[in-house]
Amino acid sequence: MGLFGGGKEKKDKKALDLYFAAPSIGGSQIDDLKKAIPDAQAVLFGIVRDSHDPDHRFRALLGLQQLGITQAMVPAIVGALRDSDDLVQESAARIVANYRECPDIVVPALVADYHEHAGNRLVLLQVLGEYGPGARAAVPTVTASLAQPLEALAAAKCLSRIGTGGLDPVERALVDVLTDGGKEADLKALGEPMVAALESFLLSSVPWKLVDAIPAWRRTLEAYALVGARPAGALASVLKELSEYGDWKLRGETGVHYLEISRAKVVAGQILQRV
């Protein structure tokens, strides 16, 4: 087994085999592995980095959750956030979220991954949020996701945990809207720029065609109902189509988000009734 090199004894391989065969991984399994393999941390990390077996990678990460990681391991653990196996992703996320010793190393690594692997952004936003103010360097990157329908809700939650002090007033208001904290008086005080930002978001997707964007779209529409006049042009067409959509057809197309889009449909009808 290449992980051990020529000097490793057979008992080390046996201990690792027992570790992987255990019904679950807990403190006793970790203790047994450490007794048999003094450099268990390095061995488990090698499995995370090199193994083609997702269950082995997952169990290795469970061990590293308890043994901890070193600074040198950070890039590979961040890379595991985009593993093909969901359990591996979740385990790596727990490790990275709890590794607070070197945010100046971890946060840039997360931001780089954010730019390079768009499909992994929801996981990265969750992890960055766990860092709180320690992830302040990520704010410009995360803020850009407020305009992306599929990322906006997670981005707002992330920013609310990091802190919104560095955002402009409209961006801060969007975070509040998407986290259900927007107040009518505050939104109205921002005037036309706020209305324009809300309209832009509402036109960025057709929610019943991009169903995972529905929760963010519904929150934005309700905020628009507080501050906007009767819409015209493209937005009016979208709201009219939604208000006329059959409930059964809408239910079939939106699935678990039906209650959200049904609520948005009511608001759309109310907005269109304005004179």
pLDDT at residue 41 above 80?
yes
Average pLDDT over residues 165-173: 95
**Model confidence pLDDT, tens digit, residues 87-127:** 998 898 889 888 877 788 888 888 988 888 888 899 889 88
Residue extents of the structural domains in the chain = 1-99, 100-167, 185-275
CA distance between the termini of the chain = 76
**CA 130, CA 135: separation in Å to the nearest integer?**
9
Which amino acid does the sequence have at 244?
A: E
Per-residue pLDDT band for 221 (boundaries 50, 70, 90) equals: very high
pLDDT, tens digit, for every residue of 80-98? 988 889 899 889 888 988 8
Measured CA to CA, the distance from residue 241 to residue 188 in angstroms comes to 27
- Given a cut of 80, whether residue 2 has pLDDT beyond it is no
Identify the residue whose tokens are 């692997």: 117
Show Cβ contacts of residue 14 under 8 Å, excluding neighbours closer than 6 positions: 36
Mean pLDDT along residues 258-266: 96
